Structure 1
Amino acid sequence: MLRQRVITAVILMAVLLPALFAPHPMPFVLFTLVLISAAGWEWARLNGLATPPAAIACGVALAVACGVAGLLGPLGAGPAWPWWLGVAVWVLGGAAVLRGGPVGWPAVPAALRVLIGLALLWLGWWALANARVIGINFLLSVLCIVWAADIAAYFGGRAFGKRKLAPAISPGKSWEGVFSGMAGVLLLAALWLAADQRWDFDSMSLFTVLSLRIGLAGMAIAALALAGLSVVGDLFESLVKRAAGAKDSSHLLPGHGGVLDRVDALLPVLPVALALAHL
């Protein structure tokens, strides 16, 4: 299993890094478009469309919708309303879905479940593309919020975890892990602010943007909120998999599960980060 994980990670990085650091955003946009269409296929399979043609059609439809948004919609300096809509959907809708738990999710009509997931994937990809257009440093600062929160939560949960966060959804998560993740994000923010002041990157990080617009205290609160939303995204996908009786969203990424398993925590963080950057 470890060997599979390492080989898969190396292959992904060999494709992702050149696309990310290419002079033009288009290689990264196209590469992530392929990934998000695969995630759409996985989502459809987890939510009642088990037949291959129907699930593939959902992935293709999502790719087309993302492509249309990328071609016709403004990138980089676009309007703020899609991101604030994402804030409302993830905060209010996420709370409602998590409250219902794995038992409540299947009660939602299958067509609506599929549509909700595809819409969230579309918004997440569009936010990802916009963040790349703004700048590599900006995009990496947003992505690293999720990664830092996840890593710190893992080690903090193992060391101090006692109170279960959502045992019916993800038994391994604890409140101590969540708080450790938030502490890790605050440390990340402090280090990134210092790096922005010392080196000249292609763009300001999200942390610098927020500190300039809403102050250091406001930036810290926003970073904590984003860390919390990464947990919501993770729990949401875990809930859907548990309701479907699946351990992983697919086996597209040997040793890692599926694409959804890798991007679940990013889906709420990306649009909300862009909303905050518009403050």
Structure 2
Amino acid sequence: MLKTRIITAFVLLAVLLPILFFLPPVFIGAFFLVAVLAGAWEWSRLLNPDAPRAAWLYATFCLVIIFVLLALQNVAWQFSLLLLAVIFWFFIAPFILAKGMNISLQKLRPFYVVLGLILLPATWFAIVFLRELGLVFLLSAMALVWVADIGAYFVGKAFGKRKLAVQISPGKSVEGAVGGLVLCYAYALACVFFLPFESTIFGAWAIRFGWVPMLLMVTLLTAFSIFGDLFESQLKRLAGVKDSSQLLPGHGGVLDRVDALIPTMPIAAILAGLV
């Protein structure tokens, strides 16, 4: 399993790194578009595993939404999609997560169908917007999610005692979440001190609003990266599966790898728009 996991990671890096550093930005958009469509396919399979054709239609419909919004060339429509996603994560997702496993996927299936067609395209538009601000801007925002995950894993392993969401993800602990947040603070400060201010969202916020608002922004993004992870874990448990798919051998599915990015990218895009 470890060997398969490493091989898959190397293949993905071999594809992604040249796209990031040697090709025009449109190729990054294309790469993440494929990832979003794969995520849409997995989302549909989680909701209705006995309807494989519906999963392809769902991914196609997700693609149509993205293309229509691009064709309209109206930033207000794209912003509205991002805002809908952010509103969900702020005001609806916490109540869904608070229910734990005491909700019915069958009853909420229509809601989740519509939800995926908002969250997944919004994630793609957020990534494209952040890339337009700069490659380092995008990568530094995405890296915050990975830093939070690394910090939570190692601190949780060493000191984790109190469960964060025992029904949804028994392996996550309060101590791990705090450890991830502290590491994110260190990471954000390093970005401010060692990179040009305008090249990252952390530097831009520190200059525009000050240190305390910048750290509050980091707290917000870190918290919602955890929300995204928990939300996908809850959906998988409701669907009765361990992984969203087997598209990435050794890693599970695409949603398993990008779950924390789904809330953080739209929120980061909105916050970046403020500066």
Query: Normalising to structure 2: TM-score of the pair?
Result: 0.94
What's the offset of the Cα at 1:135?
0.8
Structure-2 residue corresponding to 1:270: 265
Query: How far apart, in 2, do the equivalents of 1:175 and 1:144 lie?
Result: 21
Query: How far apart, in 2, do the equivalents of 1:135 and 1:264 lie?
Result: 23
Structure-1 residue corresponding to 2:64: 64
Correspondence 1:248 to 2:243: yes
Residues 111-149 of structure 1 show CA distances to partners (whole Å, capped at 9, x for unaligned) of: 221111221111111101111121101101110110000
Aligned residues of 1:80 and 1:278 also touching (Cα < 8 A): no
User: Percentage identity across aligned positions?
Assistant: 43
Query: How far apart, in 1, do the equivalents of 2:204 and 2:225 lie?
Result: 20
Aligned residues of 1:44 and 1:50 also touching (Cα < 8 A): no
CA separation of 1:78 and 1:204: change in aligned 2, threshold 3 A = farther
Structure-2 residue corresponding to 1:22: 22
CA separation of 1:215 and 1:85: change in aligned 2, threshold 3 A = farther
Aligned residues of 2:168 and 2:234 also touching (Cα < 8 A): yes
Structure-2 residue corresponding to 1:145: 144
What's the offset of the Cα at 1:257?
0.2
What's the offset of the Cα at 1:94?
1.0
CA separation of 1:236 and 1:79: change in aligned 2, threshold 3 A = closer
What's the offset of the Cα at 1:79?
7.4
SS in 2 for 1:250: coil
Aligned residues of 1:97 and 1:105 also touching (Cα < 8 A): no
1:209-248 matched pairs, under 5 angstroms: 209-248=204-243
Aligned residues of 1:41 and 1:55 also touching (Cα < 8 A): yes
CA separation of 1:248 and 1:67: change in aligned 2, threshold 3 A = same
Correspondence 1:208 to 2:207: no
Structure-1 residue corresponding to 2:11: 11
Query: How far apart, in 2, do the equivalents of 1:133 and 1:52 lie?
Result: 35
1:164-203 matched pairs, under 5 angstroms: 164-197=163-196
What's the offset of the Cα at 1:85?
3.4
Query: How far apart, in 1, do the equivalents of 2:31 and 2:203 lie?
Result: 28
SS in 1 for 2:164: strand
Residues 31-54 of structure 1 show CA distances to partners (whole Å, capped at 9, x for unaligned) of: 111111010010001012531111
Structure 2 segments unaligned to the other structure (5+ residues): none
Q: Which amino acid aligns with 2:100?
A: G
Query: How far apart, in 2, do the equivalents of 1:59 and 1:29 lie?
Result: 16
Aligned residues of 2:41 and 2:59 also touching (Cα < 8 A): yes
Structure 1 segments unaligned to the other structure (5+ residues): none
SS in 1 for 2:210: helix
| Residue range with higher mean Cα deviation, 254-263 or 106-115 | 106-115
Q: Which amino acid aligns with 1:4?
A: T
Query: Normalising to structure 1: TM-score of the pair?
Result: 0.92
CA separation of 1:253 and 1:163: change in aligned 2, threshold 3 A = same
SS in 1 for 2:85: helix
